[in-house]
C-alpha cells in the first residue's frame, strides 16, 4: 500500500491565485454531531450558483508541493463486532508522513456519526436521498462551459459533464447512501482556468476554528470509467519542445490528486494535496485521514504569501472548505515555458470522484 497513495504538504509559493477578503466571525454551536442530512435548515444557502466561476480564494493547488515518502504501516481496523455484524469497517490502515489510508469494507452498512464530529458532507442514516447540496451551502463552478471551444478541445467529454450538480446521488456501490460526485479537471500547461472546476461548502455559520479540529476525513472512490490521467511519459512527449524531463517529473507522476483548502474571510488558509494511485485503488472506497497539523498554513495578500502555523490560526473561524483536482505539485508548466504562447497544447487530468463523507474529527 505504501506506493499507492502519497500526500503533499504545501510549503512553497508557486503560481498562486487571488485570495478573497472579508471579515470572519460566527458563534460556535454546541459540539454535537451535525450530519449533512440534518444540517440544511441551519445554514443559509450559498449565493453562488453551480455554474459560477471559481471562487477567488486560493485553493491548495496554488502551492507547489514536494513528495513525501510514506511512513510505516499502522493497524487501524474497526472493531471485530462491526466486522462480524457485516457493518461498515476499515481494513488495516497504512500510515504515511501526512495522513493514513484504509480501504473501506461493507461500505454504507450500519454507519452513524461518531462522537465529536462535524459532517461537511455525509449521509449516515440513508434517510435523505438525492439531498439538495445547494441547501447545505455547497456551490461549484465549471469553466469548461464558457463557450471557448479551443480552450477545452482536448477534454474527453462535452463541457457539461464537468458541472457541479446541485443534488447528491444515491450510490449503489455504497449501500444506497448519498454521494457527492464530480469529474474534477486540472490543466497541465496553462494557469488560466487551471482549476477548471471544483466545489466548496460555506461553514462559517457553525463557528468552527482551525484549533477545534483534530483530523480531516475523506471517504472517496475513484470511478475508473471516466477517469483519465495522462502518464508522465506522455506529458514528456507532448511538451518535449517546451520543457525538460526534470520539470515534468517535478510537476506530475500520473496519479489522482485532490487539493483541499480551509479558508477564513481574511486570506488565512490551511491547505494540502493528497494523492491516490488509481491503477491500484480505482472503484474501491477509501478513507483518507489527515491530521490538521499536517496542513500548510499561510496568509496570502495580492499574491504575496506569508507562512503561518496552526497556532497562528488556532482561534480563526473557518469560512469554507474548497475541493479541486490537482497535479502532484499543485503547479502547471506555464511558469517554465518562456515565452508562453497560446499555441502550446493543453493536456488535462480528468478525475471522476465520489465523496461519501467529508468530516471534521473534533478535539
Which CATH number does the domain housing residue 60 bear? 2.60.120.430
Residue 12 or 189, more confident: 189
In a domain, residue 1? The reply is no
- Give the H or E element holding residue 310: helix 310-313
In a domain, residue 290? The reply is yes
- Cβ partners under 8 Å of residue 165, min gap 6: 50, 133, 181, 182
User: Could you tell me the pTM of the whole model?
Assistant: 0.82
In a domain, residue 320? The reply is yes
- Give the model confidence (pLDDT) of 244-267 as tens digits: 999 999 999 999 999 999 999 899
pLDDT of residue 11: 37
Q: At 222, is the secondary structure helix, strand, or coil?
A: strand
- Is the distance from CB of 178 to CB of 129 less than 8 angstroms? yes
Range of the domain at 153: 7-362
Mean pLDDT computed over 205-211: 98
In a domain, residue 56? The reply is yes
Residue 19 or 79, more confident: 79
C-alpha 104/C-alpha 93 separation (Å) is 10
Three cell numbers written together for 62: 496554488
Lowest mean pLDDT segment, chosen from 35-49, 217-231, 301-315: 35-49
- Give the H or E element holding residue 100: strand 100-105
Mean pLDDT computed over 90-109: 90
- Is the distance from CB of 178 to CB of 135 less than 8 angstroms? no
Overall number of domains in the chain: 1
In a domain, residue 157? The reply is yes
pLDDT of residue 5: 42
Tell me the C-alpha to C-alpha distance, in Å, between residue 75 and each of 69, 86, 96, 203, 296: 18, 19, 12, 33, 26
Neighbours of 21 (CB within 10 A): 11
In a domain, residue 27? The reply is yes
Amino acid at each position: 500500500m505504501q506506493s499507492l497513495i502519497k500526500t503533499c504538504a504545501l510549503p512553497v509559493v508557486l503560481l498562486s491565485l487571488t485570495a478573497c477578503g472579508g471579515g470572519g466571525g460566527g458563534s460556535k454551536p454546541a459540539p454535537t454531531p451535525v450530519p449533512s442530512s440534518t444540517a440544511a435548515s441551519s445554514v443559509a444557502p450559498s449565493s453562488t450558483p453551480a455554474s459560477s466561476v471559481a471562487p477567488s480564494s486560493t485553493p491548495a493547488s496554488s502551492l507547489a508541493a514536494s513528495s513525501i515518502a510514506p511512513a510505516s504501516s499502522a493497524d487501524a481496523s474497526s472493531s471485530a463486532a462491526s466486522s462480524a455484524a457485516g457493518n461498515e469497517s476499515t481494513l488495516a490502515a497504512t500510515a504515511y508522513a501526512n495522513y493514513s489510508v484504509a480501504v473501506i469494507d461493507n461500505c454504507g452498512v450500519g454507519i452513524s456519526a461518531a462522537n465529536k464530529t462535524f459532517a461537511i458532507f455525509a449521509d449516515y442514516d440513508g434517510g435523505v436521498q438525492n439531498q439538495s447540496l445547494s441547501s447545505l451551502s455547497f456551490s461549484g463552478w465549471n469553466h469548461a462551459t464558457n463557450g471557448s471551444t479551443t480552450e477545452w478541445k482536448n477534454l474527453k467529454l462535452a463541457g457539461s459533464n464537468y458541472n457541479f450538480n446541485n443534488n447528491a446521488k444515491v450510490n449503489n456501490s455504497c449501500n444506497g447512501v448519498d454521494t457527492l460526485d464530480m469529474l474534477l479537471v486540472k490543466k497541465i500547461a496553462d494557469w488560466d482556468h487551471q482549476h477548471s472546476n471544483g466545489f466548496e461548502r460555506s461553514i462559517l455559520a457553525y463557528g468552527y476554528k482551525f484549533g477545534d479540529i483534530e483530523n480531516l476525513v475523506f471517504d472517496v472512490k475513484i470511478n475508473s470509467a471516466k477517469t483519465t490521467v495522462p502518464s508522465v511519459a506522455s506529458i514528456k512527449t507532448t511538451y518535449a519542445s517546451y520543457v525538460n524531463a526534470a520539470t515534468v517529473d517535478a510537476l506530475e507522476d500520473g496519479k489522482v490528486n485532490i487539493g483541499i483548502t480551509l479558508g477564513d474571510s481574511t486570506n488565512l488558509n490551511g491547505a494540502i494535496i493528497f494523492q491516490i494511485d488509481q491503477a491500484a485503488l480505482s472503484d474501491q472506497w477509501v478513507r483518507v485521514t489527515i491530521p490538521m497539523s499536517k496542513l500548510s498554513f499561510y496568509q496570502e495578500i495580492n499574491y504575496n504569501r506569508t507562512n503561518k502555523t496552526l497556532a497562528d490560526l488556532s482561534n480563526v473561524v473557518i469560512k469554507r472548505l474548497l475541493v479541486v483536482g490537482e497535479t502532484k505539485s499543485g503547479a502547471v508548466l506555464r511558469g517554465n515555458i518562456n515565452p508562453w504562447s497560446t499555441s502550446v497544447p493543453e493536456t488535462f487530468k480528468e478525475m471522476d470522484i465520489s465523496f461519501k463523507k467529508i468530516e471534521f474529527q473534533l478535539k
